[in-house]
Structure 1
Amino acid sequence: MFAIPGKNPVTITPAAERQISRLMAGKQSVGLRIGLKKGGCAGMEYTMELAAEAEKADEVVEQGDARVLIAPMAQMFLFGTEIDYESGLLESGFKFRNPNVTDTCGCGESIRFEPIEGTRAQES
């Protein structure tokens, strides 16, 4: 939908590739769908779910045995994002390094993007 020829909209680190592959195999899914929804202190939150099938408008990124499906409404906000998986003593999970994010909340769970030109309401 918003593709740049010859360039994947997101990159997947080897650690994320391994984890996505494990999750897909465990649930027999076709991929990990990522998206965005309104919520959190900063205004937006990432969403992730294992998908039983790809939707027609999903952007599909494949790497090894891992497949990421990008929901249509999130595609323009995720260009250039690196998806990583970090495993630590107290916390493990996917990390999104998104160059389009302009602000995050204190806990790092929600994000904000600059409004797209022409979408901000005119102030009188």
Structure 2
Amino acid sequence: MITLTENAAKEIQKIMLENELAEDVCVRVGVKGGGCSGFTYTLDFDSKKTKFDLDFESQNLTILVDKKSHLYIKDTEIDWSYSLMDRGLKFNNPSAKGSCGCKTSFMFEPPEQEEDFKPSWM
């Protein structure tokens, strides 16, 4: 499951309003290779769910994540920081084994036991 804090949801809804996006648009969260630590988070808006997606409801927003990305960000909470030095989205990912200073890149190490790494959608 992927969740949003109240602060993250407020900021995302604000961006949706500023960009005049329809209310039924979903938040797409994903992972791609790259960054200082091996993987980076992606965040975008999307109106279409595919057969490769999982969907979650959080704070009255629908979150889409492709099944492959979900392996790396399962149980992640997305928050928003209002700090002057560190303003923006923060990914609290229990699967991340380390991250770089920018906090948008992370390292991933699969669990020791294969059973622990079994996708929730299998």
Does TM-score exceed 0.5, indicating one fold? yes
Residue aligned with 1:27, SS: coil
When normalised by structure 1's length, the TM-score is 0.75
**2:29 equivalent among 15, 34, 55:** 34
CA distance in 1, matches of 2:72, 2:111: 10
Q: Which runs of 5+ in 1 are unaligned?
A: 1-8, 119-124
| Partner of residue 20, structure 1 | 12
Residues matched between the structures, number: 111
| Partner of residue 45, structure 1 | 40
Letter in 2 for 1:20: I
Distance 1:24 1:31, change over 3 A: farther
1:16-95 equivalences under 5 Å are 16-25=8-17, 26-28=20-22, 30-95=25-90
Letter in 2 for 1:16: A
Cα deviations by residue, 1:17-72 (Å, 9 ceiling, x for unpaired): 22223333432262110100010111000011111322222111113431211122
**1:113 equivalent among 98, 101, 108:** 108
User: Equivalent pairs: percent with the same residue?
Assistant: 34
Q: Which runs of 5+ in 2 are unaligned?
A: 114-122
Larger Rg: 1
CA shift for structure 1 position 116? 6.0
Contact in 2 for aligned 1:43/1:111 (Cα 8 Å): yes
